[in-house]
Amino acid sequence: AQSVAQPEDQVNVAEGNPLTVKCTYSVSGNPYLFWYVQYPNRGLQFLLKYITGDNLVKGSYGFEAEFNKSQTSFHLKKPSALVSDSALYFCAVRDGSNAGNMLTFGGGTRLMVKP
């Protein structure tokens, strides 16, 4: 079984400040980790993924995420938040050792960036 926890329902940050959205995961095999963003009444947009290699992954719109195997975490970060970053963010995991491709999502974190 695989699971994802996003411990914060909402994160508030001032524009220009750094942001972090937390994610921890549980998977029996190799973790393939993803971050997606969702705007109102829209589907999910892919931001970045970790499959293998460098623990720091860079993605779209200036976002990055750090894979930490010992802490089973994959926190999303951005050095300087924009008001337009305000949205719902989802972390997802799948078991890379499994031929299936099912993603398990966390419950989401709402990011509010205030001017």
Partner 1 sequence: DTGVSQNPRHKITKRGQNVTFRCDPISEHNRLYWYRQTLGQGPEFLTYFQNEAQLEKSRLLSDRFSAERPKGSFSTLEIQRTEQGDSAMYLCASSSVNLVSNQPQHFGDGTRLSIL
For partner 1, which is the closer residue by CB, 46 or 61?
Answer: 46
Choices 10-18, 32-40, 69-77, 79-87; region in contact with partner 1 by CB under 8 A: 32-40
For partner 1, which is the closer residue by CB, 15 or 72?
Answer: 72
Closest separation between CB of residue 80 and partner 1, Å? 25
Determine, following the binding rule CB under 8 A, whether residue 112 of this chain makes contact with partner 1. Answer: no
Are the CB atoms for 65 and 58 separated by under 8 Å? no
For partner 1, which is the closer residue by CB, 41 or 70?
Answer: 41
Determine, following the binding rule CB under 8 A, whether residue 70 of this chain makes contact with partner 1. Answer: no
Residues 37-56 interacting with partner 1 (rule: CB under 8 A): 41-46, 49, 51
What is the DSSP code string of the chain? --EEE---SEEEEETTS-EEE--EEE-SS-EEEEEEEE-TT--EEEEEEESSS-SEEE-GGG-EEEEETTTTEEEEEESS--GGG-EEEEEEEEETTSSS---EE---EEEEEE-
Binding residues for partner 1 (CB under 8 A)? 4, 32, 34, 36, 41-46, 49, 51, 90, 92, 96, 100-108
